[in-house]
């Protein structure tokens, strides 16, 4: 068997060389930038609407009506994200994205819109507030990432605030669905009973209960996916630890430390407000645990991230 020529060997090596991941094309990138800018602006409109309505009324009751239309519009617009994943211009899981988006669209239209009696529930304000903050951060993150100018503060907020906002939003969603159950059962909303010409029955009340149960296996997947992403993306905290031990704390690292503490105090203030106005004692107790010196949110969730004592944030486990 003759040896291959040098040119052939080069070609073979180049063929098996690992290929870099290619991002979306120029046209797809331009479209995604426009989409994310519009969505960021939309959720900012919702945030401003909530604040203005609260200042005008002096109460959080009935704030849903002040942002009902933009909430429906921009939350429904998130359905395009599933399409983005399906066609491959966004490298995210179609299943996880679909669960997150469809659950919110379902709650917006099939529960909150359809069962008007729940629109004054405190739980509605809870999930709307969580969605609003989350989406402003998330779409800003996507926009700056596509432009290759991502500020560290937005990156940190994207992979830190979800620790509080995701459970907060899911709690509001589940409580809202639970509050809607008696009205759905009483009115038979969206239910189909036998006999009928199609010989088909559907109990919307039971469907809502099954929807609540589905959160048990699905929400942890989304949550811990974000935990893994946080561990990977914010892994350069190790650089801060090394430099701080050597007395070389730079401006960038100081910004990171201040950002961490400001974020913790923001979360504490927000959750204390939730607990005092909405009487969510669990949220309040969780917020108190954030005040433990030298720890971050991850510690409470089982990941040791004490900057002075653990390398767990950047471990490969």
| Triad 133, 311, 225: Cα angle to 5° | 40
- Distance set, CA 214 to CA 171, 210, 211 (Å): 14, 6, 5
Rg of the chain taking only CA atoms, in angstroms:
24
On whether the CB atoms of residues 171 and 280 are closer than 8 A, the answer is yes
68 in active site: no
Look-up of token digits 């060389």: 17
Burial class (CB in 10 A: 0-12, 13-18, 19+), 139: buried
Output b/e per residue, 82-92; b: 16+ Cβ within 10 A: bebbeeebbee
Is the link from the previous residue into 195 a cis peptide, with omega within 30 of 0? yes
Look-up of token digits 């009115």: 187
Measure the CA–CA gap between 196 and 188, rounded to whole angstroms: 15
- Return the axis-axis angle of helices 251-278 and 237-245, rounded to nearest 10°: 120
Q: DSSP character for 5?
A: P
Among 54, 166, 215, 223, the active-site one is 166
Among 173, 204, 240, 280, the active-site one is 173
Closest to 274 measured CA to CA, from 153, 123, 109: 123
Token output for 25: 């094309």
166 in active site: yes
Point out the residues that are catalytic: 166, 173
């Amino acid at each position: 068997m003759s040896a291959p020529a040098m040119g052939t060997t080069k070609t073979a090596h180049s063929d098996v060389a690992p290929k870099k991941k290619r991002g979306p094309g120029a046209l797809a990138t331009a479209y995604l930038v426009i989409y994310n800018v519009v969505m960021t602006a939309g959720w900012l409109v919702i945030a401003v609407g909530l604040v203005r309505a609260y200042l005008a009324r002096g109460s959080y009751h009935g704030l849903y009506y002040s942002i009902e239309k933009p909430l429906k519009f921009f939350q429904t617009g998130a359905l395009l994200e599933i399409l983005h994943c399906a066609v491959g211009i966004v490298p995210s899981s179609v299943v996880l994205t679909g669960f997150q988006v469809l659950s919110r669209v379902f709650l917006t239209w099939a529960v909150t819109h359809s069962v008007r009696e729940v629109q004054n529930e405190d739980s509605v304000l809870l999930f709307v507030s969580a969605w609003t903050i989350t989406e402003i951060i998330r779409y800003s993150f996507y926009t700056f990432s596509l432009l290759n100018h991502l500020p560290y503060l937005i990156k940190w907020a994207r992979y830190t605030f979800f620790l509080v906002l995701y459970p907060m939003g899911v709690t509001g969603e589940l409580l809202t669905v639970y509050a809607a159950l008696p009205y759905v059962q009483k009115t038979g909303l969206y239910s189909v009973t036998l006999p009928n010409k199609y010989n088909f029955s559907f109990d919307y009340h039971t469907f809502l209960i099954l929807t609540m149960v589905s959160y048990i296996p699905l929400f942890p997947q989304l949550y811990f996916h974000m935990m893994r992403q946080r561990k990977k993306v914010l892994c350069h905290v190790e650089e801060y630890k090394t430099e701080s031990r050597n007395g070389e704390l730079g401006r960038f690292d100081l910004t990171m430390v201040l950002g961490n503490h400001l974020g913790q105090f923001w979360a504490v203030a927000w959750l204390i407000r939730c607990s005092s106005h909405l009487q969510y004692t669990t949220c309040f107790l969780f917020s108190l645990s954030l005040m433990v010196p030298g720890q971050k949110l991850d510690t409470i969730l089982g990941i040791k991230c004490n900057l002075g004592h653990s390398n767990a944030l950047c471990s490969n486990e």
